[in-house]
Amino acid sequence: MNQNTKQNTDDLTAEELEAIERKYDESSATRAVTNRAGSILRVVALVFAAYHYITAGFGLPADHWHMGWHLSGLFILTYAFFPVFNTKGLFKLKSTPFRIGNIPIYDLILMILGVSAALYLGFAWRGVPFLGIEEQTFRMGNPNKFDLFFGVIIILLVLDIARRTLGWVLPFIIAVFISYALLGPYFPGLLQHPGVKFNTFVSSMYFPQEGIFGVTLWVVSTIVFHFVLFGVIAQRTGLGQLFIDNATILAGRYTGGPAKVSVISSAFFGTISGSSVANTVSTGALTIPNMKRLGYPGHFAGGVEAAASAGGQITPPIMGAAAFIMAEFLELPYTTIIIAAIFPAFLHYVGVFTVVHLMARKLDLKGLTKEQLPLLKEVWSKGWANIIPLIGLLAVLFAGYTPFMSAFCGISLAIVTGMSRIKQPITMVYAAAFIAFVVWKFSNEGFSGTMSLILIAGALVGTLNPVERTKLPEMSESVQLGVKYALAVGAASAAVGIVVGVINTTGIGFRIGFMVTQGAGALASDFHSIVSLGSLNLFSVEDLQLFISLVFIAIACILMGAGIPTTALYIMLVSVAQPALAQLGIPPIASHLFVLYYGVVAEITPPVCTSAYAAAAIANSNPFRTGISAFTLGLGKIIAPMAFVYAPVLLIVSSAGFDLWTFTYSAVSCVMGVICLSAAVVGFWLAPMGVIARILAAIAGLVFVAPSLSADLAALIIVSPVIITQVLSKRSAVLV
């Protein structure tokens, strides 16, 4: 729908925003259930959240039981809320003999089968003599009939809940991998392998360490869920609004103010949110109408919000929880991952900010007036307590404690600051419980004295929160929303475990990597003869092979990333694409960040760009044009991975080593490249740019990103005519 066909979208209701989120985030579209069924499912969701919260603080059970309980909750809630197909009529409340609480009987049967398969593993782990079941150790690779039955059930149902929550793309990809494992002898050439026997395949996919009960489900059930829950609770208790208000104070007064507010607030909120669509809807409800009122075209306003929201998934310190999984895979401290991600995230926001600023200048858009800006004193006098949970979480995290312990403390402090008030003594029970926990941990040497004092002080100061307290029903609703957001991530992680299992069983990751590098090598040899000028070789064959390989892998990451949550997508891509990068000699941390970045780029790349479509619905703009705008605004995120692959020093902690001069030079070169590309996209720098000037600026921008002195000199020569004509145009405009 064109933005001019509707008069105004400045005042979208909460219901309209929820409808937008449901439409463009399949994991938000759920069926209606009866009041009684709804009450039961609310209890299930609260028990599910409470289990994860308690085990994060007091200790995890054995992995097979822990992941089994997590999967059980996923099966119950997914089959209760997500219909078999995403058809409008299936979401409505119906009364038929074949439904209980509006849940079809076949879904209840699938629910029971799923829970049975998830818990059977723990039940039969030590063996069940009267059923003839040996200990699990003796059944590895040689499953009995019970293992086969429940293994097949769980494989099929995991694919089904992934399909129901995320659509068909992910299950289709996984089905291809399953086919590859079972039908190996029928594949051609290098892809051919002896094939995996059906019994062995089921055993590998079902038993822990590989497959469904592997590292992917463990990380999500132990870390990611907790941070999704923290993000929702903290945002609903006021942290999200505090981010938006401070972003408005920081950037609102400047040229194109509301758009810059969108960038900053989305970066703040996106880093604690596991969903780009949820981030887009939460912050875009305010920022997109403000941008349109200022004069930005609807598609551009939506693109700004989508690009900024997707950028939150790569912004330290939490990075949509992907940082924790990366630390697990690389066996590096979490802080190392965060430090490495600082400059690439900065480069992304430089690109978004530059395009926003130049577009505002091109359209002659001003910032907000002083009267429209929030007052710093007023914002912090009301909202200061909302920052306490984030400070507590980060303090525990950077002190070296486990991610799930930091999430436990963050959630606890969010509950305390939201619900405990010193003026209402009965509500102090929440603060007292958390303080008792901290004292208990200190007495058992679980917390240091300094950390204990920090957490106790946070809990006590949080009870002085001047904002009206959050009531128990409201907090319960926030917890349920957090569980709802976590369903799709959990389903995707369980399903992606199959991909990881197939890769480990067949070695396809290295086969694909070899095929990519060999194909790129052949193309590089052909191109080398074209770009060589006699005896002058502008690029070596190795340079061309690396570049072509990176382009191939980047395209594959974007194509595979359509509509899949960041955390699950990263796990899949690092298993499939990262081996190819490793064969090219790229440092491990650079290769892992490379696949993560291009996976996130998929969220703003047409034709499947869910964040951009959600923003378009709020902006009442053309979805495809909004997607194109988001893509061009995200140029910094698109070229950043190329930059840190060629110059690992930009990651600061790369195994290639760190040198301050090399870092500074490379960083400046990359920033200049992003600015040139941004000017080319907008068609404006100091003055309007013609077609030739835009082409030259774009070429110079790409050359700048290759951090070498010869490349930078070439880029300066290319862009010099543009700079000269822009300065002359600016002077002539001033004289007129």
pLDDT tens profile 406-435: 999 999 999 999 999 998 999 999 999 999
| Per-residue confidence (pLDDT) for residue 570, from 0 to 100 | 82
What pLDDT does 608 receive? 66
First-last CA distance in the chain: 41
The pTM assigned to this predicted structure is: 0.84
For residue 536, pLDDT beyond 90? no
Q: How confident is the model at residue 88 (pLDDT cuts 50, 70, 90)?
A: low
Reply yes or no on whether the pLDDT at 155 is more than 90.
yes
pLDDT for res 450: 93
| Average confidence score pLDDT of the chain | 83
For residues 312-317, give the mean pLDDT. Answer: 78
Highest mean pLDDT among 199-208, 451-460, 522-531, 559-568: 451-460
Q: Please say if the pLDDT value at position 6 is more than 60.
A: no
Average of pLDDT values for 596-612? Answer: 77
pLDDT category of residue 443 using cuts at 50, 70 and 90: very high
The first and second tokens of residue 72, run together, are 């059980």
Residue 235 token pair: 């945002």
Percent of the chain with pLDDT over 90: 24
CA 212 – CA 220 distance, rounded (Å): 12
pLDDT band, very low/low/confident/very high, at 19 (cuts 50, 70, 90) = low
Cα 663 from Cα 674, distance rounded (Å): 16
CA 13 to chain centre: 26
The pLDDT > 70 percentage for the chain reads 90
pLDDT surpassing 50 at residue 283: yes
Q: Which of 508, 448, 559 is nearest to 169 (CA)?
A: 559
- As a three-state string, the secondary structure of 198-231 is HHHHHHHHHCCECHHHEHHHHHHHHHHHHHHHHH
Supply angle C-alpha 314, 166, 312, rounded to 5: 15
**568: closest CA among 500, 517, 621, 632?**
500
158 against 293, higher pLDDT:
158
The pLDDT of residue 415 is 95
pLDDT of residue 89: 58
- Amino acid 433: pLDDT: 96
CA distance 632 to 348: 11
Per-residue pLDDT at 39: 93
Nearest alpha carbon to residue 154 among 195, 202, 122? 202
The answer to whether 276 touches 312, Cβ cutoff 8 Å, is yes
Most confident of 26-30, 85-89, 273-277: 85-89
Using the predicted structure, report yes or no on whether residue 501 has a pLDDT greater than 90.
Answer: no
Question: Is residue 351 pLDDT above 80, yes or no?
Answer: yes
Which of 175-179, 514-518, 730-734 is predicted most confidently? 175-179
pLDDT of residue 9: 41
The residue-averaged pLDDT of 339-354 equals: 86
- In terms of pLDDT, which residue wins out, 146 or 516? 146
The band of 311, judged by pLDDT with boundaries at 50, 70 and 90, is: confident
Model confidence at 442: pLDDT above 60 = yes
Residue with more model confidence, 318 or 698: 698
Average pLDDT over residues 75-93: 81
pLDDT (mean) for 208-229:
85
Over 90: is that where the pLDDT of 72 sits? yes
Burial of 478 by CB count in 10 Å (0-12 exposed, 13-18 middle, 19+ buried)? buried
pLDDT of residue 402: 87
Q: What pLDDT, on a 0 to 100 scale, did the predictor assign at position 281?
A: 74
Position 224 scores a pLDDT of 82
Q: What is the pLDDT of residue 417?
A: 94
